Amino acid sequence: MSDKKSWILLVIVLIVVVVAGYMFFTYQQESGQALSTDANTSKYQAVFLDNNQVYFGQITSTSGDFITLQDIYYLQVNQRLQPIQEGETPANNPDISLVKLGGELHGPTDEMRINKDHVLIIEDLRKDSNLVGAIEQYVANQAATQ
């Protein structure tokens, strides 16, 4: 084979490989399979959704189109209902509390199946993070009251 034919063949093979790789990656993204299937149930994760909700819990499954999250918490910002009186200064720090899923009016169970199409980011939380510390404190308080 001549050098010119070898180069043409090499370019064609490279183009086919690049196109096949692009198609595979696109398919994986569209089907939601690009998320890791390694569920680490010994750690807490933060799951950021495309509707600006963030849930904290332990991912127990990532198979199929859904992520299963258990032992779920979320942050709630408590806003002041009364208007600020004249001469009063507004609080600079918002009142944020950690809420355990399950006590809401509609009575959800402590398991959530989240469509992978709506997940933006999943982050593992460090054991020494303030949030994990707050969860551990909540669990300890619950155990002490029972």
The domain limits of the chain are 1-31, 36-145
Kindly state the average pLDDT of the residues 128-133.
Answer: 91
Q: Kindly report the CA angle at 119 between 43 and 139, in degrees rounded to 5?
A: 30
What's the pTM value of the predicted model, to 2 decimals?
Answer: 0.65
* Fold designation for 36-145: SH3 type barrels. (2.30.30)
Q: Which of 7-11, 28-32, 47-51 has the lowest mean pLDDT?
A: 28-32
Residues constituting the chain: 146
As given in the structure block, the two tokens for residue 68 are 């299963």
User: Collapsing DSSP states into helix, strand and coil, what is residue 30?
Assistant: helix
Distances in Å between the alpha carbon of 117 and those of 95, 106, 121, 123, 144?
31, 25, 11, 16, 39
| Residue 29: HSE in the Cβ half-sphere, 13 Å Cα cutoff | 7
| Residue 112: HSE in the Cβ half-sphere, 13 Å Cα cutoff | 23
CA distance 13 to 52: 44
The answer on pLDDT for 8 being more than 70 is: yes
- Per residue in 69-107, pLDDT (tens digit) is 999 999 988 776 666 667 666 666 667 888 898 878 788
The answer on pLDDT for 37 being more than 60 is: no
